[in-house]
Amino acid sequence: MSDRPLEPSATEMRAMTESVLDLLVESMEKLDSSPASLNSPSASLLSELSAPPPEEAGKLDELLELTRRATEQSYSTAGPSYLAYIPGGGIFTSALSNFLAAGLNRYTGKASTAPALVALEESVLRWMCELFDFPAESQGLLTTGGSLANLTAVVAARTRHAEGQVDRATIYVGEHAHGSLLKAARTAGMVVEHVRSIGSTSDLKMDVAELRARLAEDRTAGLVPVCICAAAGTTNTGAIDPLPELAAVAREFGIWLHVDGAYGGLLQLTERGRARLAGIELADSITLDPHKSLFLPFGTGALVVRSRNALLDAFSRPADYMQDLEEDDSLPDFDALTPELTRDFRGLRVWLPLHLHGVGAFRRQLDEKLDLAKLAYDTLSADSRLEVPWAPDLTVVVFRLAGRDDTAQLEYLRRINDSQRVLLSSTRIGGDVYLRIAILSARTHEDRVREALEIIARAADDA
Ligand SMILES: *Cc1c(COP(=O)(O)O)cnc(C)c1O
């Protein structure tokens, strides 16, 4: 390379990109046959990877080879076999958009520095707001994930309902709520004990009567209830909390209703999802995770908020060193709406795939996952050796060996995962271990789900 290695020529850029593309295409083509969960790198690989960066230039091919070997030692989270936790597919066209956006490297934290690019990002955010029938004064945001979306919502709710009284602020989450809400409350300066964990009814949904009683008790005790955090698809089982009833309670107490739809919110794109999520449109804010249910690469979460002003109240701060940048009322300054200032141009990786493939392509994918979850539920329910207590609201199916203890369940999980053709995970519900099958990857289709069901049945033979 030249004496300006950080500014490669056109030929050099093409050659380097070609090498990276080769690695990526090879890795994507292998996803079907890759082992589901290799994660035991050799000591020599780990020691190669622990080297600090050298003073002198290295070789791209060698560095890519090291990257390839390191990638092989990982869960195949982007592949069809990944049925654990919550899958995230990572579609190719979104990766291309990411590459392009990073290369262009335009500043989109303020509208005036790149108004058309901010308009592009805002167009997908409006689309998300409208998906939930949110009003014109609503605002969407792209975050790095669901956790940061939940944090942003909790801070907005706390600012609106407990400014200056954070030591007395309380929030209400279901016992199956995602752990990021506890982190959010803590990061927002709230007392950890003031995160009220509300029990569930037998269908694993937040118990509205218990919630109402707890709210009344806390108010009487001089505490300041801020927010009910409902789940639109718990991570455990995909259960959807009773959203219309929770909206009514929030209205009655004059507090915020946040819906954590990081896993399930975007199922709103399907007819069945929209019916099951009814009431979500009454929320003050909804967390979405395009890196789960829109199959985008990790690093893409979203939040939609009913009132843009609630975000401005929480995050807008004038800064002297920004005085040259004019405000344009028709476009959002994202830095005034979130804790972030400089951010990657994340709009492109949502906008480009949606326009390129059309929303229908995503809708059909999500519909397929709902069909596959029903197939899994029906098949597992018909096996008398298994207990399958809850019909799936969305695309997570929970089951266990009937009449066996927790140790036997974990052993059963190990035998299934030893196939390396699928990866399932486990959880605890009411203290007992259950296995989960979570179907949400763009690359998981009927063939792999049927194979998973056969592996599950064979492993039950051996149990
Ligand atoms: C995944 C998940 C989160 C956290 O989102 P990240 O994108 O992992 O930060 C929050 N809530 C629920 C219900 C989730 O499934």
Give the ligand 1 atom nearest the CA of 301: 7
**If you ran DSSP here, which 8-state letter would residue 34 be given?**
S
- Cβ neighbors of 176 (< 8 A, separation 6 or more) are 200, 204, 231, 234, 235, 236, 237, 239, 429
Query: Which tens digits make up the pLDDT trace of 230-287?
Result: 999 999 999 999 999 999 999 999 999 999 999 999 999 999 999 999 999 999 999 9
Query: Which tens digits make up the pLDDT trace of 337-359?
Result: 999 999 999 999 999 999 999 99
Vertex 420: Cα angle to 417 and 422 (nearest 5): 65
Coil/strand/helix, residue 302: strand
The Cα–Cα gap between 131 and 28 comes to 31
Closest Cα to atom 2 of ligand 1: 262
The neighbour count for residue 68, using CB atoms within 10 Å, is 13
% of the chain beyond a pLDDT of 90: 95
147 lines ligand 1 (CB under 6 A): yes
Query: Which tens digits make up the pLDDT trace of 1-12?
Result: 568 999 999 999
Query: Which tens digits make up the pLDDT trace of 47-67?
Result: 999 999 999 999 999 999 999
pLDDT of residue 451: 98
The Cα–Cα gap between 60 and 68 comes to 12
Closest Cα to atom 5 of ligand 1: 146
Give the ligand 1 atom nearest the CA of 291: 7
Alpha helices in 188-222 (DSSP H): 208-220
Pocket probe for ligand 1: among 260, 393, 396, the residue whose CB has the most ligand atoms within 8 Å is 260
**If you ran DSSP here, which 8-state letter would residue 200 be given?**
B
Determine the distance separating the centroid of ligand 1 and the alpha carbon of 230, expressed in angstroms: 13
Determine the distance separating the centroid of ligand 1 and the alpha carbon of 36, expressed in angstroms: 22
260 lines ligand 1 (CB under 6 A): yes
Give the ligand 1 atom nearest the CA of 178: 11
301 lines ligand 1 (CB under 6 A): yes
Query: Which tens digits make up the pLDDT trace of 178-199?
Result: 999 999 999 999 999 999 999 9
Residues of the chain whose pLDDT is less than 70? 1-2, 326-328
